[in-house]
A and B are shown apart, each in its own frame.
Chain A
Amino acid sequence: MGDINEIRMQVMWNRLISVVEEQALTLLRTAFSTSVREAGDLSAGVYNAKGEMLAQAVTGTPGHVNTMAEAVLHFIAEIPREEMYPGDTYVTNDPWKGTGHLHDITMVSPSFKGDRLIGFFACTAHVVDVGGRGFGADGKSVYEEGIQIPIMKFAERGVVNKDLLKILRVNVREPDQVIGDFFSLAACNDVGHRRLIEMLNEVGYEDLDTLGDFILSRTHAATMERIAGLPKGSWSNEMLTDGYDEPIKLAAKVTIADDGVNVDFSGTAAVSRWGINVPLIYTKAYACYALKCVVAPDIPNNAASLAVFSVSSPTNILNAEHPAPVSVRHVIGHIVPDLVLGALAQALPGKILAEGAAALWNVHISVRPVAGTPGRRAEVLMFNSGGMGARPDLDGLSSTAFPSGVHTMPIEATEHTGPIVIWRKELRPDSGGDGKYRGGLGQVIEIAPAEGHEFDFSAMFDRITTPARGRAGGGDGAPGSARLDDGTRLRPKGWQHVPAGRRLMLELPGGGGFGDPAERSREARAEDLSKGYVTGKRS
């Protein structure tokens, strides 16, 4: 029977993952914000009564998943057990207790079996607006970035907090959509809870303890086995990123010990005046993601697989404290994996991919008719990706999000959301760094306001002055650029204007190459030319 029990546990583990997958799907189906429904910017997970994450949905992006893993502990700390009731849902958008900026709403629901608290469900999604200055890097403190919702009850015993909804409604630009998303977040936790109870009833368990212990102990053992196979010691890496108005230095020291891996960010630049700062919880999410990709890619993500990774940092741009502005924390956050991987590459030479475009090139467009002409106003958000770094035995992926896990939106759908025309969205030849394996290509995008319109846009770009570096002799990827079609250069961050009749021209960065270019095969070079990935015109 011991054998049979073992198998039953394995099966229930799979079931738990499918429970949270169902939770995430409910969110995708009902969400309003494009970043959730078209681009998958969300996460969902289940926790034991102590707040340890047992399983997460495969659907989701690391910045949400790994931050949310810790968020539940903050909720438990602030809401006393005796004030938790069946039917409750808790909420926050605290950047330091949630997922790093105000636009992400995290909801946590206690799961009761009878009157016994057996665990929690949590989910996170990026909503379309939180008031303040809008999604951009121009705020001087978090107070300018929008409404702050401390950890509180969204619903108690199933009854929604109407006061919170009233306050929200007057504080955000798109109240219907934002409130709609609050409801869909709460609904997805409910679905998870119902499925969990059905599963426990079916197998005759009273709580999650036995299964949770099995999951965490198995995962811990498997992860420690992987750590044991790594070389021990410390390795450091530094890099520059564009910043808002001046380049910013990032530094990391990775220490692999017998009991885990630590990343320390001492030596990183100070907190910025602009909204590009990163709360440590978000820095940690992406540092852990990078480590896990290398150390234990096939081990399910949960509290035990994350527990072997730790981060430390003095206060700086990667550990910005309240009330620093953090709206666009994802740009530097997305670069953290390249920073960590660069250190790991010294520990594991020949095994780590080159640097890539890293940060998504998000464009938030606020379009309106030119004064005195008819037309319509709209807010349009696009996610776009440059090239990924070349791998030790493969070319880099072109125009593919990494480390983010989101999708782009179809341009036909985007043009329906507002009066803009996307004239080009195409691979960018000659942008991949040369090497035995070539870096992934960036892309070229041209966006114009529709006839009789003009727009402002919030730039959230990087790798314009600091290209992705090649590895093991590989060349750098091409840097990005942002300008108007009349040649006017634009800044990588902040709100800027595109007048009627002009086009915004974006060239997204390519990934770095891997290995000596002299070793690139003749066939690969011929294919690069025949497919036009390389034009042969670049010197």
Chain B
Amino acid sequence: MTSRHQIRLGADIGGTFTDIALDVGGTLYSTKVLTNYAAPEQAILDGIEIVVRDAGIAPGDIDIVIHGTTLATNALIERRGARTALVTTEGFRDVLEMRTENRFEQYDLSLVLPKPLIPREDRFTVKGRMDAQGCELQPLDEAALEAIAETIATGSFGAIAIGFIHSYMNPAHEKRAREILSRKLSIPISISSEVSPQMREFERFNTVCANAYVRPQMADYLSRLQVRLKEMGAQCPVFMIHSGGGLISVETAAEFPVRLVESGPAGGAIFAADIARRFDLNRVVSYDMGGTTAKVCLIENFEPQTARTFEVARTYRFCKGSGMPISIPVIEMIEIGAGGGSIAWVDAMGRIQAGPESAASEPGPACYQRGGARPAITDADLVLGKLDADNFAGGKIKLSVDNARAAIARDVGGKLSLEPQAAAFGIVEVVDENMANAARVHAVEHGKNISDNTMIAFGGAAPLHAARLCEKLGVDRCLIPRGAGVGSAIGFLKAPFGYEALTSKIMRLSKFDAASINTMLDQLKATAEGFVRAGTDGAITREVTAFMRYAGQGWEIPVPMPDRAFVDADKTAIEKAFKERYAQFFGRAVEGPEVEFVTWSVKTQDIRPEGEKVALDAGGQPASGHAMRMVFDPASGKELETAIVPRDTLPAGARIAGPAVIVERETSTVVTSPFDAVIQADGTILLVRKGL
């Protein structure tokens, strides 16, 4: 693999910035350019021009481009997709609209639910029904489908989604319906048994609709990007990073664009996993904080946690349940509305709140002096002395402490009779606490204790908050790698060619039928490998996982399975493996109930070369003689004399005693009083709790 692709380019289109990272034989060049909403590919081309110039190469020298983007996510959030027709089972026209029949906020009687992605008039039903075992209860009404095709042909539809009840058990009706419709219509058709073959109709139908909805737009964009790259001389293949953190071909991405949702943050998790491997850290929590949101992901044995469903486009204060569910394999993370641009305010109870509303890049926080008048987290960080007003973004943006103080005084301090500094402390404490709570609950959902982990922090705002977050979480060590500002794009370069194929198959362990499991696994293996072989002909690995539970429960746990053909006698060993995993998650196995399988997954990826290992150095030689400034220290609750240290001047092995601020071009690392910082051999900063 690496021998084929010596010069690799990663491009991450985010909400504010498009990040470019170029790896030329191990040397890294990177840049940030503003995201171009009208022509997203233009920002990538602009960024490529900068990094190839810096590296002294030509676009034609690039061997591979790896790309991730929030465009699919944004199209869903902003509802800018194609008019899409949903064809579904008779009796179930309103699955998308009825949701879970729940109010995600209990006390708000003026609650507004998110509108279904496909409005009712565009949802068509047809007779034909499978039962829960996948047997046909009622044949597909083909004549009715012909009539539906005519109706769709007369509307201004750009895409079709097909979602039938129990199609994850038997896709025959969905495939036949696609055949009939495609005879009369030339628009792309997505079927739920291919996009997301998982049980639970609301999630699966929503996923196939989301796929169909963004498909025309993403297909256009991807083909434009390829044309423009060729025009600039970059003839190399382009691969996309998907939500699960692996790479897929542009062709696959154009067919299944829903798999690109949250691909940028997935790249960040891969970046952190690579650092974890380099330092040989088995238990890591990654913390990525940008302008609008913060993302936290658990990484165990160098692998980010994954999930099979998540929620995008939350419409109500990032409240769980207020978005749309997407059932695809993803790197699982918790995302909350806490970024440098998050706005601070005071609620009816006189409590300080932060986010999720963001000042974004325009008008930006008050201190940017671009017309923003409301206080953002960055304003509070500035007032507390954590940022150097004259050296922000390498001096590109001059920050106004006066503007920040005035905004905080007006919107927060004045309402609570707090001095601006105390108010700023309150704002930062609230946002740090929100992140800490989200991280803690996220860890619990995985049966983990967050304080057992080492943190890896990246993204523009994370190094400012990481030490305090560690104090709150009881985390003793935190790494801040080089290139933290463009972490996701660097992560793309580390991503394997990988794909996870899933299918639901409910089966009691007592009815374990090795032959039918083997047939199903063979299909999954063929699917997963098909995707991976599009990108590599090298050696690949394969992981088989069964998602299991006690019959009667609703929450499955992943149980690793051997990658070989099963025989019926494997039952006993499987039961034992399940019970051990269960006890690991929830304390003790339950005696009595039967065990069952719910879903199987096959994950394949190519084998990546081992990176260079770096031994973690928690000692170091004390370095001193730095400039001092007063900075507010949260643990002691007051301003302390604090060393201000440029990161570039620090040699490997230097130890800086907290409180200190280590400054660099894109961000600052705040070392709070309970921590010291030790510079590692590769330039990574280690924050380590004093006395450890």
> Chain A: residues with CB nearer than 8 A to chain B?
1, 3-4, 6-8, 10-11, 14-15, 18, 21-22, 25-26, 28-34, 37-38, 40, 58, 62, 128, 174-177, 179-180, 183-184, 187, 191, 195, 198, 202, 218, 222, 292-294, 297-300, 353, 383-385, 391, 393-394, 397-402, 405-408, 410-413, 415-416, 421-427, 443, 446, 450, 530-533
Contact = CB atoms under 8 A, between A and B. Distances in A.
A297 B437 CA distance: 23
Contacts of B440: 18, 22, 195
Contacts of A411: 92, 165, 201
B654 to A, nearest CB: 30
Given A393-B110, A397-B111, 16 more contacts: A180-B593, A292-B107, A293-B107, A297-B108, A299-B348, A300-B349, A391-B110, A394-B112, A400-B113, A405-B106, A416-B132, A421-B137, A427-B97, A427-B120, A443-B98, A450-B131
Given A3-B418, A405-B106, A413-B200, A18 B441 contact: yes
A407 B99 CA distance: 9
A11 B432 CA distance: 10
Nearest to B506: A416
A362 to B, nearest CB: 12
B555 A177 contact: no
A412 B199 contact: yes
Interface stretch (B62-70, B422-430, B516-524, B664-672): B422-430
B102 interface: yes
Nearest to B586: A30
A397 B115 CA distance: 11
B425 A7 contact: yes
Nearest to A177: B552
A532 B433 contact: no
A393 B132 CA distance: 42
A202 B474 contact: yes
Nearest to A34: B554
15 contacts: A11-B429, A22-B440, A25-B444, A30-B553, A31-B553, A32-B550, A297-B107, A298-B348, A385-B101, A398-B97, A412-B199, A416-B132, A424-B92, A531-B120, A531-B121
A198 B592 contact: no
Contacts of B202: 410
Contacts of A30: 553, 555, 586
A412 B166 contact: yes
Per CB-CB distance, the 3 closest pairs between chain A and chain B, nearest first, are A424-B91, A37-B554, A297-B107
Contacts of A421: 129, 131, 137
Contacts of B506: 416
B587 interface: yes
A34 B551 CA distance: 11
B506 to A, nearest CB: 6
A218 to B, nearest CB: 7
Interface string B554-595: 110000000000000000000000000000011110101100
A415 B134 CA distance: 11
B430 A222 contact: no
A222 B553 contact: no
B103 A405 contact: yes
A38 B553 CA distance: 9
B109 A293 contact: yes
Contact of A398 (B98, B111, B119, B437): B98
B347 interface: yes
B351 A10 contact: yes
B288 to A, nearest CB: 21
B349 A222 contact: yes
A450 B137 CA distance: 10
B25 interface: no
Contacts of A176: 552, 590, 592-593
A443 B416 CA distance: 48
Interface in B410-439: 416, 418-419, 422, 425-426, 429-430, 433-434, 437
Given A28-B555, A293-B109, A426-B93, A415 B101 contact: no
Given A191-B444, A400-B113, A411-B201, A3 B98 contact: no
A183 B590 contact: yes
Contacts of A31: 553-554
B332 to A, nearest CB: 14
Given A28-B555, A412-B166, A531-B120, A399 B348 contact: no
A198 B101 CA distance: 37
B101 A407 contact: yes
A409 B93 CA distance: 17
Contact of A298 (B103, B107, B201, B474): B107
Interface in B364-421: 416, 418-419
Nearest to A32: B552
Contact of B433 (A15, A294, A533): A15
A22 B444 contact: yes
B94 interface: yes
A58 B441 CA distance: 13
